[in-house]
Structure formats: C-alpha cells, structure tokens
C-alpha cells in the first residue's frame, strides 16, 4: 500500500511489481493447464475409444510424413542406378587453334569425331568451299578502290582522248 504522500513514480513502480507477479502466476497456471490437458491418462480413463482413435490417426500421420512410400523408395533407387549407369561424359580438350584449317578439312574432322552436328559440319564445308571466292572478291574490291583515278585525272584523260580524236581525224573509221 502506498502512503498518501508517495509520489507518482512510487505508484508506477508498485504497479509494475503487481503486473510482474500477475503475469508470472498466469504463465504458471497455463503451463499446469496445458500439462494436464496434454496428458493422455485422464483422457484414456474418460474417453478410451476416442483416445485410441486419435492416437492411431496421429501415428498414421506421423508415419506418412516421416517414412517414404515404397514408390518413392523405388524412384530413389532407380535414380541412383541411372546415375551409376550413365556417368557424365568426360570433358574433351578444346582444339588448340580457334580458326578452321585453310584446306577446309576441319569441319569434316569435327563431324567425324563427334564434336559438331551435321549442319555445322556441312556449313564448315560450304564456308571452306566459298572462302577463296570471297577472298578474291574482297581483294579485287580493295584494289579497285586503291587504283581508282581522281576526277582531275579522269578529266585530263578525257581531254587527251578528245584531242586525239579531233587532231587525228577518224582514226580508221570509214565514213560513207
């Protein structure tokens, strides 16, 4: 009990102590009640068949959750056998060079050795066959661009051609 002269802080401290005591008492009562309600012995005395049925159901559910079925066990065995019978393929060493051979034989060799499929083998052969033509086209295009005369040189050549035709006459062309 508080004295009439006690402060508000004293009142709050006393209330805190009362609350702690009440909470502790409630928790202990709850533990006792749960312990009594979970204990199957009184239930078995009062309701023997219901307790037996509930125990059987609880056992069945626990077994179903913890023990795999025969089907699941068989599937696990099959997966282990399959894994043992089909080991992962060995890693093949990468070819030392990244580009194809000059003679175009690498595509056929890769296909025969199993490193590539039929389409990539065919494409390798096709590329090997057209490679010289493509190189020739690129070379001639670069060469033509390099030797292309400037506009001033073309005008000088045209003037020279005109002068030749104008001064020399017909240059073997017969007129009727």
pLDDT tens, residue by residue, 67-94? 888 888 889 999 989 888 887 777 776 6
Q: Which whole-number Å values give the CA distances from 25 to 22, 33, 112, in the listed order?
A: 5, 12, 85
Q: Cα angle at 120 between 118 and 126, to 5 degrees?
A: 105
pLDDT band of residue 22 (cuts 50, 70, 90) is very high
The C-alpha atoms of residue 74 and residue 81 are separated, in whole angstroms, by 10
Residue carrying structure tokens 């699941």 = 72
Q: Which whole-number Å values give the CA distances from 40 to 27, 28, 30, 128, in the listed order?
A: 22, 20, 17, 86
The C-alpha atoms of residue 59 and residue 65 are separated, in whole angstroms, by 10
Does this model's pTM top 0.75? My answer is no
What contacts 55, CB < 8 A, 6 or more positions away? 40
Q: Give mean pLDDT, residues 28-46.
A: 84
Q: What SS3 class is residue 93?
A: coil
Residue carrying structure tokens 């060799």 = 109
pLDDT reading at 175 higher than 80: no
pLDDT reading at 46 higher than 60: yes
pLDDT band of residue 98 (cuts 50, 70, 90) is very low
pLDDT band of residue 95 (cuts 50, 70, 90) is low
Phi, psi of 137 (to 5 degrees): -65, -45
Q: How far apart are the first and last CA of the chain?
A: 149
Query: Which of 88, 86, 90, 66 minimizes the C-alpha distance to 78?
Result: 86
Q: What is the pLDDT of residue 18?
A: 93
Query: Greater confidence, 109 or 101?
Result: 109
Task: Of 23-27, 91-95, 142-146, 156-160, give the range with the top mean pLDDT.
Answer: 23-27
pLDDT reading at 169 higher than 60: no
pLDDT band of residue 176 (cuts 50, 70, 90) is very low
pLDDT band of residue 26 (cuts 50, 70, 90) is very high
The C-alpha atoms of residue 67 and residue 120 are separated, in whole angstroms, by 51
């Amino acid at each position: 009990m508080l004295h009439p002269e006690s402060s508000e802080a004293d009142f709050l401290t006393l209330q805190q102590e009362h609350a702690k005591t009440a909470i502790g008492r409630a928790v202990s009562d709850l533990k006792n009640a749960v312990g009594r309600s979970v204990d199957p012995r009184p239930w078995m005395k009062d309701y023997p068949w219901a307790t037996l049925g509930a125990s059987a159901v609880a056992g069945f559910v626990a077994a179903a959750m913890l023990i795999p079925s025969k089907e699941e066990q068989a599937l696990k065995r099959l997966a282990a056998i399959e894994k043992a019978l089909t080991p992962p393929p060995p890693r093949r060493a990468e070819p030392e060079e990244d580009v194809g051979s000059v003679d175009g034989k690498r595509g056929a060799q890769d296909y025969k050795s199993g490193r590539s499929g039929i389409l990539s083998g065919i494409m390798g052969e096709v590329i090997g066959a057209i490679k010289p033509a493509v190189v020739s086209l690129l070379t001639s295009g670069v060469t033509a661009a390099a030797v292309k005369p400037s506009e001033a040189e073309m005008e000088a050549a045209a003037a020279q051609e005109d002068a030749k035709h104008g001064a020399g006459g017909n240059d073997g062309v017969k007129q009727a």
